[in-house]
A and B are shown apart, each in its own frame.
Chain A
Amino acid sequence: MKRVYVNEEWCLGCHLCEYNCAFANSGKNDMATALKGKRIFPRIHVEGADKITYAVSCRHCADPICVKSCISGAISKKDGVVCIDRDKCVGCLTCVLVCPFGALAPGEDGVMQKCELCLQNGVGAPACVTGCPNRAIVYEERGEEE
């Protein structure tokens, strides 16, 4: 399946992916209305410092420990995509305790959220990829185990 990958050498550290992610998941039509003056809660995070930066989002692991650890049964894997049922999440943070990538974090409402590849929010393709000005973030098949 296609996953989101980041080529570190092309990442500018501009954080646009974080804004595009937050906008794509805001349900709003206009980026300014959605984000201006607000703290954003993106599902992708730019990491690193100085010369090396890169963005990290859910790896949709072949053997996802978040799915196995969720006390609510709120996280599941559907067609290769690790999804979260936010109505079932109680915010216990057990997934934060176990995810080796730090890919889950609470949203504005305290309920956990994570990258679902923009397949659930109506955007259709990962907004972080579409909006990356230096094409550092790509959405492609690299033959990893699903």
Chain B
Amino acid sequence: MKRCVIIGNGAAAAGCIEGIRSADAEAEITVVSAEKHAVYGRPLISYYLEGKTDPAHMNYRSADFYEKNGCRVLYGRTAVGLDPERKEVTLDGGETLPYDAVCVAAGSSPFVPPFEGLDTVEKKFSFMTLDDAETLAAAVREDSRVLIVGAGLIGLKCAEGLRGRVGAITVCDLADRVLSSILDAECAGRMQKRLEENGIGFLLADSAVRFDKDVAYMRSGKEIGFDILVLCVGVRANTALVKEAGGEVGRGIAVDEKMLTSLPDVYAAGDCTESVDCSSGARKVMALMPNAYMQGFTAGVNMAGGEARFDNAIPMNSVGFFGLHAMTAGTYEGELFEEKTDGTLRRFYVKDGLLKGFILIGDTTRTGIYTSLIRERTPLASVDFALLRQSATTAAFSPAERRRKFGGASK
């Protein structure tokens, strides 16, 4: 019987379990879970703070998921070593797990820059896990002044989640705009405005030089008093296991289309990996939950001896604050087509006759039609792109293509 070990217990691990079981009903599956929780939707933690969900509804899979799939889960344990020659994973405490195939789905960790005086701050938090969210929820009061360092997705979702629970929130970032990794200045400005209208304050193009208990001294000379500090500066892929075992690692663990690393029988999936973005051909970390699941599933099928490839990953984000949604996908390169109507901004990037990327703010109805054009590399010459730029509609496809897409030729 094949022995599969999965290091990690997030969406990539869940995908891996389902991938293995789609190809092999018998394989032995052991899951090493640092967190003492069954798999949950990690991005839900901000919705939990906001009161839109609760731990009882955050389970990513049903309560009988592991049992039904015949998995042994080692909660509260971490993998500290990987030996690709002996084909063994070493756990904290020294115990070893032999494997025929292993998937490293170890996720990422918050990156905390070495701020001077950070050790003097009593109430400081990161915002990555359900435990982080529960600790933060327990620490805030109605009159708390919260300083969030980092205006990326995690920091801003944290701000939105906390808004109804605290007195004041300020978000600071070294970048000159919010969501700087996915939005240009104009788009970022729209999202920032919505956040500001809802009581979130910003200090952009500024950074904390030093902390002293409950005051942040900024590079601009400003002094920000706070009761609660949340550090959302960024994350780093957890690559150490594979790196120390001699595997190829860049910003993430390098994987191919089968999710195989450079080490034999060692697969990797999720936020700890870097892989090819099919919209640009560049290798990058695409730490997104859908990609994590699809990578995990692909790894699982291959671990079980099946054949699966995941060759159309792209960066993509759906992010909303206080009712204003932005959706982004792909790469912003090539010719820009812009449409502005009734509070909706649409930007499309076209190169080599293909849609390479987009940014939409406002009306995001049926945006997946655009996303599929990027992922499927649909030649724009085969669709009515002028119509598509106005609205996402399948009417832009030819009748024959629609019949193919919608399935089952007419009787």
Contact = CB atoms under 8 A, between A and B. Distances in A.
* Band of interface residues on A: 35 or more
A14 interface: no
Contacts of A98: 290, 316, 368, 371-372
Interface in A89-107: 90-102, 105
A96 B392 CA distance: 11
B226 interface: no
A3 to B, nearest CB: 7
Contacts of B366: 96, 99, 102, 105
A94 B59 CA distance: 17
A99 B371 CA distance: 8
A47 interface: yes
A5 B318 CA distance: 29
Interface stretch (B166-174, B178-186, B331-339, B402-410): B402-410
A73 B44 CA distance: 11
Contacts of A6: 406
Nearest to A93: B318
B365 interface: yes
Contacts of B392: 102
A100 B294 contact: no
Given A71-B44, A142-B407, A54 B289 contact: no
Contacts of B407: 3, 5, 59, 142, 144
A90 B53 contact: yes
B69 interface: no
Interface of A: 3, 5-9, 47-49, 52, 54, 56, 59, 65, 68-69, 71-73, 87-88, 90-102, 105, 140, 142-144
Contact of B367 (A47, A69, A71, A96): A96
A100 B406 CA distance: 10
Nearest to A144: B407
B405 A101 contact: yes
A7 B368 CA distance: 23
B52 A90 contact: yes
Interface of B: 11, 14-15, 41-44, 47, 52-53, 57-61, 289-290, 293-294, 297, 316-318, 320, 325, 327, 329, 364-369, 371-372, 376, 392-395, 399, 402, 405-411
Given A5-B406, A98-B290, A72 B44 contact: yes
Interface centre among A5, A9, A48, A97 (most CB of B within 10 A): A97
6 contacts: A52-B399, A71-B289, A72-B58, A94-B290, A97-B327, A140-B411
A102 to B, nearest CB: 3
Contacts of B405: 59, 100-101
A47 B395 contact: yes
Nearest to A67: B293
Contacts of B42: 71
Contacts of A95: 368
